[in-house]
Amino acid sequence: MSEFSGKIALVTGSSGIGRAIALRLAQGGADVVVLGIDAANNASLADTARDAGLSLTVLQADVSEADQVEKAVGEIVARHGGLDIIVNAAAIHPYGDAVETSPETFLQCLKVNVGSIHLTAHHGIPALRRRGGGVIINLASVQGFACQAGVAAYVASKGAIHALTRTMALDHARENIRVVSISPASVRTPILALAAQTFDGPDADLDAVFARFGEAHPIGRIAEPEEIAELAAFLASTKAGFITGSDHKIDGGLTAAIAVR
């Protein structure tokens, strides 16, 4: 695969969906730089990419901090000569309703999940402009449309991503910069493992819990990160050149159903 040959991509998040998308873009020929906060995840991704002979590097960074994102974007441009694709996949997932969620936790969730998208755009869009355009993909969630109880901060952040995606798409369409979001349902990621351990205990059988989660989806299973990565790869490609300002559900039919049985 070489559909991204000559392209430079920035991906936030070095585990789960971010990891899968970074590897997929690199497999397609892109020079990929991943920003991740977890040292173990960063090292694992770097090792995988190196063993596969991919052009993928990982930088330690907290993408909710403006100075760290600015520095990282500067390093990418200096090293690779520009930037063409930005994928915002970094996220945290606190649990609790509005009373149970502290103001600090609520704001931190927004800072990571939404603020990081603003920061990569604020510092990255000038680099996209210099390349004649580009693509920004924001990872949202079906919980931006319909939600579970007890996830007030996370749901607020994912709904905000939908709105931010739309306005960014409108603001930058004339600059040949496309902006879209992806809304997955349950995906086999560390965040879903956290959900399993939160509700079934720290010693939960993850495969059994994931199978139960999958039963809620009409297709009968949860998604694999690589399936989300394939959608992202399509949206980042020239095949999707007329797509901007839109959200793309990949949810196994979850939001097509109603709860009545």
Which residues are annotated as catalytic?
154
3-class SS of residue 151: strand
- Using N-to-C axis directions, what is the helix angle for 66-80 and 116-130, rounded to 10°? 30
**What's at 121, amino acid-wise?**
A
3-class SS of residue 257: coil
* Strand order across the beta sheet in which 85-88 lies: 56-60, 31-36, 8-12, 85-88, 134-139, 177-184, 247-250
Q: Which two tokens stand for residue 75?
A: 């390093």
Look up tokens 């989806």; give the residue: 217
Cα distances (angstroms) measured from residue 215 to each of 20, 146, 192, 221, 249: 24, 17, 15, 6, 18
Q: What angle do CA 196, 198, 202 make, to 5 degrees?
A: 80
With CA atoms as reference, report the closest residue to 76 among 49, 90, 63, 57.
57
The whole-angstrom separation of Cα 51 and Cα 94 is 34
Torsion of CA 25, 140, 93, 142, to 10 degrees: -120
With CA atoms as reference, report the closest residue to 14 among 33, 31, 30.
33
Q: Which helix (H) or strand (E) holds 88?
A: strand 85-88
Main-chain dihedrals φ then ψ at residue 9, nearest 5 degrees: -125, 140
